[in-house]
Chains A and B, each alone.
Chain A
Amino acid sequence: MIKKVTAPLTKEQLKDLHSGDDVLITGVIYTARDAAHKRLCELLAEGKELPFDVKDSIIYYVGPTPAKEGQAIGSAGPTTSYRMDAYSPAMIAAGQTGMIGKGKRGPEVIEAMKQHGAVYFGAIGGAGAYLSRCIKKAEVVCYEDLGSEAVRRLEVVDFPAFVIIDSEGNNLYETGRKAYLDSVK
């Protein structure tokens, strides 16, 4: 069964999201990669406001290709998430509730997810042409000088993902592999 998720993602919604769930995300999400995270976390460290509302936000780790005429955005699949591990605990403490990326997360991120309440969604890495069709609108919020790495506000409709790590710390990368291996024993 596919679960519908709306963004912003409230802490209330987190309780129904479990590792392994197939989801379709609709609403407003933000993009940020390494360079933008670095700046955002510097602002947090100085006690300043972020350029967008971080509370209940979902951040998508993506640096899209330039849009062609008639496209809202170019190809836009996830980048590898572990590069954001140094920044995610501070972002989660500031109110971020969702992350979309691909690949493993460090223990410090999972700890912050359990403590403050957040989930980690996986989108299909390398499916940028497919995923871009679920993004209906994209506009730069800040850090335009970073080009593809600028922070963008995206309006997404039925963006497909799965819950990799839920707010209790259950991890599909561990359980999925084990379940498959048990099935072929």
Chain B
Amino acid sequence: MREIDSKVITKAVRDLCIEANSFLPEDIKARIQKACDTEPWPLAKSILGIIKDNYEIAEENRVPICQDTGMACVFLEIGQDVHITGDLETAIHEGVKLGYTEGFLRKSVVRDPLDRVNTGDNTPAMIYYNIVPGDKLTLTVAPKGFGSENMSQIKMLKPSDGLQGVKDFVLKVVEDAGPNPCPPVVVGVGIGGTFDKAAFLAKKALMRSTDVRNAKPFYADLENELLEKINAKGIGPQGVGGHTYALAVNIEEMPTHIAGLPCAVNINCHVTRHKTVEL
């Protein structure tokens, strides 16, 4: 049994909140750079250039890439041989509070969806636990902006809708989103499971590096095909027209019920932030 002090978790969450908001993952930067080089439409190309300048300014000055520093989504993979001393959940929220106040990040969370009073410190975090073998604890913080979160959708397709139904739904979500979610975007797709699991899979898909395709060739091909079809729509970065609407499509799938084909699409903007540490 390995002991981890909850104070260590607070510190790690704090630092991840701050760093994830200033430093874009390398794979996203590489995709933006590549889009800058290959985008054929002049206005789209100049926008992509500014998007690149923007993340460079953020990195250099350690300021937030985007003013929507998001809701803090915290993913934990806890080894079953780990024992945490202290209150884990409190430790995570405390880390978010410290990160968002000390890191000059925006506080974008309201305490109740209907009375809408700001909590003032960006808590609570959205926490996802996963128990895994071993004695390590892996922490990921993904600040999720809501311009793109709001453009996400879920649909309980029928088994007879099949592969075509999934493709049509993903393309419909993109069409509905248009210029709103700050394209270029990353598209996370969750297929299967239950209503809630499909949505979770779509979010989990956004945590995967865009350099890594789905391990199953069938789904990897589907990712590539959907990416091509999305960009062929010509919506372009920021919706002004052009090739680059999506930087990547990531799909996660799992078993489901004989009567169902849940499909969720979680959209993320070009500020696709996530940072991981292993404790």
Query: Are both chains from one complex?
Result: yes
Binding site for B on A (CB under 8 A): 20, 22, 35, 62-68, 71, 74-77, 79-80, 82, 102-104, 122, 124-133, 146-148, 160, 162, 172-173, 175-181, 183-184
B43 proximal to A (CB < 8 A): yes
- The answer to whether A176 touches B54, judged by C-beta atoms less than 8 angstroms apart, is no
- The answer to whether B234 touches A184, judged by C-beta atoms less than 8 angstroms apart, is yes
- The answer to whether B41 touches A183, judged by C-beta atoms less than 8 angstroms apart, is yes
Contacts of A148 in B (CB 8 A): 67, 106-108
Distance in Å: Cβ of B152 to nearest Cβ of chain A: 13
Beta-carbon contacts of B42-84 to A below 8 Å, as 1s and 0s? Answer: 0110010011011101100101111111000000000000000
Partner of A180, one of B150, B180, B234: B234
Distance in Å: Cβ of B97 to nearest Cβ of chain A: 14
Report the Cα distance A126→B185, complex, angstroms: 11
- A-contacting 9-mer, from B200-208, B211-219, B222-230, B235-243: B235-243
Contacts of A128 in B (CB 8 A): 54, 64-68
Report the Cα distance A81→B58, complex, angstroms: 24
Distance in Å: Cβ of A30 to nearest Cβ of chain B: 16
Known contacts: A63-B67, A176-B241. The answer to whether A129 contacts B57 by CB under 8 A is yes
Residue of A nearest to B239 (CB): A173
Report the Cα distance A77→B181, complex, angstroms: 13
- The answer to whether B54 touches A126, judged by C-beta atoms less than 8 angstroms apart, is yes
Distance in Å: Cβ of B181 to nearest Cβ of chain A: 8
Report the Cα distance A160→B51, complex, angstroms: 13
Residue of A nearest to B62 (CB): A68
A-B contact pairs, 28 of them (CB 8 A): A35-B116, A63-B106, A66-B105, A75-B63, A77-B68, A79-B147, A103-B147, A103-B181, A122-B239, A122-B240, A125-B147, A126-B54, A126-B270, A126-B271, A128-B65, A128-B66, A129-B57, A130-B53, A148-B67, A148-B106, A148-B107, A173-B179, A176-B43, A178-B241, A180-B242, A181-B234, A181-B241, A183-B40
Report the Cα distance A41→B190, complex, angstroms: 40
B209 proximal to A (CB < 8 A): no
B95 proximal to A (CB < 8 A): no
Distance in Å: Cβ of B119 to nearest Cβ of chain A: 10
Distance in Å: Cβ of B103 to nearest Cβ of chain A: 9
Residue of B nearest to A81 (CB): B180
Partner of B240, one of A133, A172, A181: A172
Partner of A129, one of B61, B106, B108, B235: B61
Distance in Å: Cβ of A152 to nearest Cβ of chain B: 12
Contacts of A79 in B (CB 8 A): 68, 147
- The answer to whether A124 touches B238, judged by C-beta atoms less than 8 angstroms apart, is yes
Supplied contacts A66-B104, A102-B179, 15 more A-B pairs, CB within 8 Å: A63-B68, A63-B106, A102-B182, A104-B180, A126-B54, A126-B270, A128-B64, A128-B68, A129-B66, A147-B107, A147-B118, A176-B236, A178-B241, A180-B236, A181-B241
